[in-house]
Structure 1
Amino acid sequence: MDPHSQVEFPKFPGRRRQCCQRGTLLALLGLVTTAMWAGLLTLLLLWHWETVQKLKQLEKTAAQNDLETVQKLKQLEKTAAQNVSQVSKDLERHKGEQVAQESQAAKMSQSMEKIQDEQNRMKSQDSELSRNLNGLREDLSDLQSQGLNERRAALHALDRLQEEVAKLWIELRVSNGTTCNTCPDDWVHFQKKCYYFGEGPKRWIQARFACSKLHGRLVSIHSQEEQDFLTRHANKKGSWIGLRDLNIEGEFVWMDQNPLDYSNWQPGEPNNGGQGEDCVMMRASGHWNDAFCGSYLDGWVCDRLVTC
């Protein structure tokens, strides 16, 4: 083969097919792109239309709302005007009531001042009446005390008189030969009196009442002979006798109202010791001792005149 001869290359039919296929793909791609742009444009148009519709609806709604708002504002304005008118009327009425109340308060203040003046006057009168009443009470108390003292003194004088009459009667009967030595049961006769020796714990006042129930009284002692007799018969634990200084401290008085013409005090007595000793007891030895009237003693001695 001649090296300088022209070489002919063979022609390949496949390259032309590839070019055709590429053109087809480009056409399809263009169609797809066109379709996409058409769809996008359609979507944009739809969105624009919906947006316009919504805006119109919003404008319509806003217009309706504005109308309702205007109506509400007008109603509120009308209501406010009515309220202002009512408030003004109420204020005027309250002002009138306040003026009336102030006037009434002034009248009440004047009335209160008058009442206070009257109360002060009444307090002054009440104070004076209280002083007068206290004075009358004191006078009445003094009169009652004086009356009680006079009555007590009269009763004591009557008792003494009756006792003296009884003694004179006994002496008269004895002088006429009558025997006068009769005593009730359980009583002991000595000289011209009967004696009852009670037993059982009692306070002085209880012993006094016990003797009264027996128609006697707590014993009064006026001689050594009578004291010796009582010492022999009295309770050995101690007995109440009818001597006391309840009214005036140190002034001892017998139940028969006779003076203290005989005494048999234990050495150092009376001493009014402890919580106050205003009643007199007789010890087993026969000596006397002032004691607390509220103490309990096992013995107590009563006396009374004999009968004929």
Structure 2
Amino acid sequence: MSSENPGYWEPPPKRCCCARRGPQLVLVGLLSTAMWAGMLTLLLLWHWETEKNLKQLGDTAIQNVSHVSKDLQRYQSNQLAQKSQDSELSQNLNRLQENFINVKSQNSEFSQSLNSLQEDLINIRSQGLNEKRTASDSLEKLQEEVAKLWMEMLISKGVACSTCPENWLNFQQKCYYFGKGSKQWIQARFTCSDLEGRLVSIHSQEEQDFLMRHTNKQDSWIGLRDLDVEGEFVWMDGSPVGYSNWNPGEPNNAGQGEDCVMMRGSGQWNDAYCRSYLDAWVCEQLATCEEASAPVASVSPTGPTPKNGS
């Protein structure tokens, strides 16, 4: 309150700060401007760098796409080439299969032709062997008939025809060998052939009785068989069965393989398995005459052969 005007209050005078705030505002404005300019600069730099990176990425992507495109083109080209090769290989395989089928067919035809030729050859050889055996059998029979006729003529002239090799026994112008030892029928047959004889053929009861007296009641192989035709028994001299002495119920071909004939110890005959072993067999051959110049026959593996003396 003033001393001059005691009832009146006067507010204190305000201080003036405008002079000090002006420079501050300018400074703040400058700082704000500088800050915004810096931020703008940073944004521009970031934008520029980003665009640069994006451009690089784009260029890289373009290059990668180009490489991938080229790789894809190469892959597709390789695929086409592979398909072409596969197609060519498939065609080659088909041709090979066709060639294989043709070769197989030709081989089959060749094999059939070869088998046919082999069968023809076997048939020709078999026919030739049969014809040769037939001719040999016929020649053997003829030679033996000639020898028997010659022997009968000599006997009618009083010539003795009873000479036999050592260890052979004579009976009725024939010589007999009684073999010992375990043999099959075919082995006995070849043994008789080696001795210039053959397995015995029996044509009379007298001959049967003679054999029985010397076999010592042993089972013995004789020269009877039906090897060619089942049931058609033929003697080794080629003659059919006239006289016989079969055991009751024989021949019976038991087991479908009894094609050779044995004489039992009792003297009766029995068809037997040709590969069975017997301990005895009987061989025969024609006896020779005393006259040295008389041609007689001895039975060899190929048949009786006339010869002078013995």
Q: Normalization by structure 1: what TM-score?
A: 0.67
Unaligned stretches of 5+ in structure 1? 1-73
Map of 1:158 onto structure 2: 139
Q: Measure how far apart 1:255 and its partner are.
A: 0.6
Distance 1:285 1:81, change over 3 A: same
Paired-residue identity, %: 65
Between the two proteins, the alignment pairs up a number of residues equal to: 232
The letter for the 1-side match of 2:257 is G
- Equivalents in 2 of 1:190, 1:196: separation in Å? 11
CA-atom RMSD in angstroms: 2.7
Q: CA-to-partner distance for each residue in 1:146-186, whole Å, 9 max, x for gaps?
A: 22211111111122122222222323333444322111110
Could you tell me which of 191, 196, 199 is aligned with 2:177? 196
Distance 1:196 1:104, change over 3 A: same
Distance 1:300 1:199, change over 3 A: same
Map of 1:277 onto structure 2: 258
The letter for the 2-side match of 1:189 is N
Task: Determine if the alignment matches structure 1 residue 303 to structure 2 residue 284.
Answer: yes
Q: Measure how far apart 1:113 and its partner are.
A: 1.9
- Equivalents in 1 of 2:205, 2:64: separation in Å? 116
Secondary structure of 1:278 counterpart: strand
Q: Which has the larger radius of gyration?
A: 1
Map of 1:49 onto structure 2: none
Distance 1:219 1:84, change over 3 A: farther
Secondary structure of 2:125 counterpart: helix
- Equivalents in 2 of 1:276, 1:248: separation in Å? 12
Distance 1:84 1:219, change over 3 A: farther
Distance 1:299 1:235, change over 3 A: farther
Map of 2:92 onto structure 1: 111
Map of 1:236 onto structure 2: 217
The letter for the 2-side match of 1:269 is E
CA contact (8 A) 1:275 1:292 kept: no
Unaligned stretches of 5+ in structure 2? 1-55, 290-310
Distance 1:84 1:166, change over 3 A: farther
- Equivalents in 2 of 1:183, 1:83: separation in Å? 119
CA contact (8 A) 2:260 2:272 kept: yes
Kindly report structure 1 stretches of 4+ aligned residues shifted beyond 4 Å. Answer: 80-95
- Equivalents in 1 of 2:226, 2:135: separation in Å? 19
- Equivalents in 2 of 1:232, 1:84: separation in Å? 120
Map of 2:300 onto structure 1: none
Task: Determine if the alignment matches structure 1 residue 144 to structure 2 residue 130.
Answer: no
CA contact (8 A) 1:197 1:235 kept: no
Q: Measure how far apart 1:137 and its partner are.
A: 2.8
Compare the two structures and name the one with the higher helix fraction.
1
The letter for the 1-side match of 2:86 is A
CA contact (8 A) 1:246 1:279 kept: yes
Q: CA-to-partner distance for each residue in 1:239-289, whole Å, 9 max, x for gaps?
A: 110001112111101111112111111121111124521111112222111
Map of 2:159 onto structure 1: 178
Could you tell me which of 186, 197, 203 is aligned with 1:205? 186
